[in-house]
Amino acid sequence: LSLYSSPARETKYVENPQTQLEEGVSHLRHVLEPYTACSLCSDFFSEGFELLQNPPAGFYPRLGVIGFAGIVGLFLARGSKIKKLVYPTGLMGIGASMYYPQQAVSIAKVAGTQLYDWSLQGYIAVESLWKDN
């Protein structure tokens, strides 16, 4: 093309077609919209936003250590899918419990009672199957 010639006067804007990923994300957003529009969710997101805007002292280094523990857990969990689930969550839980011991104790108490209830229900179910046979 010559530098001195003018481009065509009639140009048309052609929008690129949506990819499968864009369509999937759009569909997911429309499906989740009733759940994210509830007042409880908006309160949760606003509290999270305020926490990130005005974090307590040492929040980001703690978050970095906990996230790094999860990445180390993923690195150590090569092989089994169960390891990929247990190692990162376990290491992140240990890291979080070092920084937030009071919350870890309260979560452990609730989880312990739930685990005890589930194991008792499983024991009763197995016992009833054993006695029926």
**Residue 88 burial by CB count (10 A; 0-12/13-18/19+): exposed, middle or buried?**
buried
**Residue 20 burial by CB count (10 A; 0-12/13-18/19+): exposed, middle or buried?**
exposed
Q: What does the DSSP assignment read for 31-65?
A: HHHHHHTSHHHHHHHHHHHHHHHSPPTTHHHHHHH
Do 107 and 92 meet the contact criterion of CB atoms below 8 Å apart? no
- Distance CA(69)–CA(95), nearest Å, equals 7
Where the chain has pLDDT below 50, the residues are none
Give the pLDDT of residue 120: 93
Give the pLDDT of residue 130: 85
Residues 6+ apart with CB under 8 A from 72: 91
